[in-house]
């Protein structure tokens, strides 16, 4: 099975369809209504609110990202075919990102306008930072695969680790954000594969 077939399969089983997108738009709308027409206040808190919404949207599909394939033996079958766990995890990382990030970037234009944020900077930052959020979600999914309350545990794991990404993204530190995202994206498949091996042991 080729890498891209694994990616397409991961998109089919690992995403929640439009749920992350709807969630992101709802958070942006509720924030705008809660703060009111104060443009200056909206501008101060808008970017940070949207970054938190992006993190939570990235966490929504984590419960099904890996756990179902571990439970039904599909993960073992892929390994028997000679596919390295790191390759499987890299395909799931790509699938996870494709499942929520492109639509979220489109929604960020609307959300940024609603919250009086700098839309080009926001979209650029999210484009750089969402791979890191997807990578952290992947590692968390591997760590809690098969555990009770997996999605809740995944949230507890990811939230502290995502703080640098949220800080750099909200502050517009694009170089630091890009560097952080590159490191997380490069290491996440190996960390997730190691977590699965540990779970098998």
Is residue 138 over pLDDT 80? yes
**pLDDT recorded at residue 125:** 94
Q: What is the mean pLDDT of residues 108-129?
A: 89
**pLDDT recorded at residue 200:** 61
As for how many domains the chain has, the answer is 1
Angle at alpha carbon of residue 48, lines to 60 and 159, rounded to 5°: 45
Asked if residues 33 and 59 have their Cβ atoms less than 8 Å apart, the reply is no
Asked if residues 100 and 58 have their Cβ atoms less than 8 Å apart, the reply is yes
Q: What is the pTM of this model?
A: 0.86
pLDDT band at 6 (very low <50, low <70, confident <90, very high): confident
Is residue 15 over pLDDT 50? no
Range of the domain at 27: 3-200
pLDDT digits (tens, 9 = 90+) for 94-103: 988 988 888 8
Terminal alpha carbon distance of the chain: 26
**pLDDT recorded at residue 151:** 65
149: left (phi over 0), alpha (psi -120 to 50) or beta: left
């Amino acid at each position: 099975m080729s890498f891209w077939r694994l990616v397409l399969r991961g998109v089919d089983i690992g995403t929640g369809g439009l749920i992350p997108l709807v969630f992101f738009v709802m958070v942006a709308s509720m924030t705008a209504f809660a703060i009111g027409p104060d443009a200056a206040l909206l501008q101060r808190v808008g970017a940070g609110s949207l970054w938190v919404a992006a993190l939570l949207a990235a966490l929504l599909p984590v419960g099904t990202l890996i756990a179902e394939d571990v439970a039904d033996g599909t993960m073992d079958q892929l390994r028997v075919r000679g596919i390295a766990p790191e390759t499987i995890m890299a395909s799931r990382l790509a699938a996870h990102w494709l499942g929520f990030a492109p639509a979220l970037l489109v929604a960020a234009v609307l959300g940024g306008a609603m919250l009086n944020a700098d839309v080009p900077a926001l979209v650029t930052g999210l484009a750089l930072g969402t791979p890191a959020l997807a990578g952290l979600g992947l590692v968390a999914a591997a760590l809690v695969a098969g555990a009770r309350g997996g999605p809740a545990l995944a949230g507890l794991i990811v939230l502290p680790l995502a703080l640098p990404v949220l800080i750099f993204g909200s502050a517009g530190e694009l170089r630091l954000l890009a560097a952080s995202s590159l490191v997380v994206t490069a290491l996440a498949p190996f960390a997730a594969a190691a977590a699965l091996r540990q779970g098998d042991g």
